[in-house]
Amino acid sequence: MAELKLPELGENITQGTVTKILVKSGDTIKKGQNILELETDKAVLEVPSSSDGIIGEILIKGGAVVKVGQPIFTLAGSSPATSSAVPVETKTTQAKPEAKAEPAKPAAAAAVPGGIAEMTLPALGENIEKGTITKILVKVGDVLKKGQNILEIETDKAVLEVPSPSEGVVKEILIKTGTVVKVGQLIFKIEGGASAASAAPAAPAAAPAAKTTSPVATPAPAAAPATPVAVATMPVRKDIPAAPSVRLLARELGIDIGQVPGTGKAGRISVEDVKAYCKALNTSRPAGGGTAAASQPLPNFTKWGSVRREAMSNVRRKTAEHLSYAWSTIPHVTQFDKVDITELEKLRKSIAGSGKKISVTPFIIKVIAAALKKFPQFNASIDMSTQEVIFKDYVNVGVAVDTDRGLLVPVLKNVDKMSILQIHDELTAMAERARLRKTTIEEMQGGCFTISNLGGIGGTIFTPIVNWPEVAILGVSRGSMEQVYTDGHFIPRLMLPLSLSYDHRMIDGADGARFIRWVCEAIQQPFLLDMNK
């Protein structure tokens, strides 16, 4: 039994959406016969078979997103492909067709003849297609145990440890530290791993990608087709011919997919159609409408002296993409206020005197948790594609952490159910994991609201950018003693500047002012905070 895998589709194309499966189980196929239609970001491709044979099991479904190197069919009676140019590669394995139902392993090891197992980089998380090797934890000749960590890889969101799926001896290391590897790419060859692979049938090199809603900035719009794109409102359409990947792009751009004119067969909407429509919308808006400026080439800096170039780290690149998208998508408003934390500082010092070195941040997190329940529009997200508001019944707060790699925002889950001391302990541990590159992908997801505290560094006020798909973020600056006029006298009080940025599509100015005032009043009365809940 041979596996037909999805081949390389072109430069920078790592996956595609199955639009049509042209064969069925039991069909006899010939080499070169088209067996699949696949839609990528660039075009719809027909994928031919690399050999003769009989279709055994179809491992994919129409509408599914499949990645390069992922098994798509099993084929009986096939002959190995003789040309490296064929679009589909075949590879004999010991796995049975039932392996499709096997849950994804921490890393995939496919047994091959001679007792050598090929280990590929597994799916690392939602919308994560590649990562940078930061450390290889084994060397050639090492004897591996199942579950032993063999690799550290840095993705856009976290540094992950990859465990071995089986026992064996490392025969060949196919990657190097500092290189970027993609999901499904071969990383090791292991001898003696065949027995482990036979005990647990090898899972596909890369599981089908789940539908993603990650806040990754979308690619720059491609050049519009020769036919002018109509921006005028189109009639309401019930059945909209568009692939899931196209619908996702439209949602991320805040475009109603029903308004996009399709240039494909039977009016089918492609990625290029969505990008062209978005570009037409932007160019049709009046000046000052908030659209991003066109990209311009940089000057030749060497004219004025020597320069050096360094590649962006994964975290820095991801931050640039995410904040650019958030800034261009969300109409920002920032509301400033000051809160008297004189009494809170007394409470904080009394706790610190008992041996617990606690900062002001856990108190603010606790207040924000209560405020999100009082003002539910701040604990929401906007779905422009359906014209709906998504209200969340849980309270997860992200806290920006400064690291040597850049800004990370791990998320404290269910803070409304935690005491202030529990928040302090978890926040301390979470910040330490972030600085040691031990933050997991799960810790970086699921936020409802973000807090960025720069008080330990300095400054008076700043305007934080909303962490999409959230609708608000609170910036905290450094507190200082000020003279406050009270009951006919000036009294020295410790004042803390706050900056609340919010999405004006969801939150009106009056609501923003009410929210930050409620937060200030709650912080000024720390004795009302429940320390144990």
Nearest to 119 by CA among 173, 73, 74, 68: 173
Element (H, E) at 473: strand 472-476
Say yes or no to pLDDT of 530 above 70.
no
More confident residue, 529 or 345: 345
The segment(s) of the chain belonging to CATH 3.30.559.10 are: 329-528
Q: Please, which pLDDT band fits residue 97 given cuts at 50, 70 and 90? A: very low
Secondary-structure percent of the chain, ordered helix, strand, coil, rounded to 5: 25, 30, 50
Query: CATH for 102-210?
Result: 2.40.50.100
pLDDT of residue 229: 47
312, two tokens = 């962006």
pLDDT of residue 463: 92
Give the least confident one: 115-124, 300-309, 315-324, 394-403: 115-124
- 104, 201 in Cβ contact below 8 A? no
Does the active-site annotation cover 504? yes
Give the mean pLDDT of 517-533: 80
The segment(s) of the chain belonging to CATH 2.40.50.100 are: 1-92, 102-210
Average pLDDT, the chain: 77
Give the mean pLDDT of 348-352: 80
Q: Which CATH class is domain 1-92?
A: mainly beta
pLDDT of residue 158: 73
Q: Please, which pLDDT band fits residue 464 given cuts at 50, 70 and 90? A: very high
The segment(s) of the chain belonging to CATH 4.10.320.10 are: 217-284
Nearest to 417 by CA among 358, 361, 370, 360: 370
Fold classification of 217-284 (topology level): Dihydrolipoamide Transferase (4.10.320)
Q: Please, which pLDDT band fits residue 212 given cuts at 50, 70 and 90? A: very low
| Contacts (Cβ under 8 Å, ≥6 apart) of 400 | 407, 408, 409, 450, 451, 452, 453
pLDDT of residue 365: 95
pLDDT of residue 114: 52
Burial of 404 per CB tally in 10 Å (0-12, 13-18, 19+): exposed
Say yes or no to pLDDT of 343 above 80.
yes
- CATH 3.30.559.10 for domain 329-528: yes
